[in-house]
Amino acid sequence: MIDEEGSSVWASYREAKRIALEEPDSPSVEEVPLTIEELELAIAMTAAASGIPETGMPPRASVHPSRRIKWSRWFYRALVVLFTALVATLLWWGNKLVQQN
């Protein structure tokens, strides 16, 4: 049973490879190679018809913005809060010591 499955897979592989490498009898109009200019024109026309800008894909930074700026803002805000709390605590502690003496 295993031999039959293996041979059928191998036969399918060989058949697919034969079909892929087989030369067509006559090239159709669509299979004739185009020049670079013709390809660029076809791409531009297809893009214009579908509403995609000619420049292609947008920059990755605009699609996936970095969170570094967001986190750095929160980091600096936390530092300001901690510094303010430290100053307020030291002032309170200093007043407390002065009142005791």
- Residues 44-49 have a mean pLDDT of 75
- Number of independent structural domains in the chain: 1
Looking at residue 22, its amino acid is: E
The verdict on residue 77 lying in a domain is yes
Burial readout 9-41 (b: 16 or more C-beta within 10 A, e: otherwise): eeeeeeeeeeeeeeeeeeeeeeeeeeeeeeeee
The verdict on residue 16 lying in a domain is no
Domain range spanning residue 97? 67-101
Q: Is the pTM of this model over 0.85?
A: no
Alpha carbon distance 57, 27 (integer Å)? 33
* Inter-residue contact 47 to 53 (CB < 8 Å): yes
Can you give the pLDDT at residue 64?
A: 80
The verdict on residue 42 lying in a domain is no
- DSSP-derived 3-state class of residue 73: helix
Task: State the pLDDT confidence band at 98, using cuts at 50, 70 and 90.
Answer: very high
Task: State the pLDDT confidence band at 69, using cuts at 50, 70 and 90.
Answer: confident
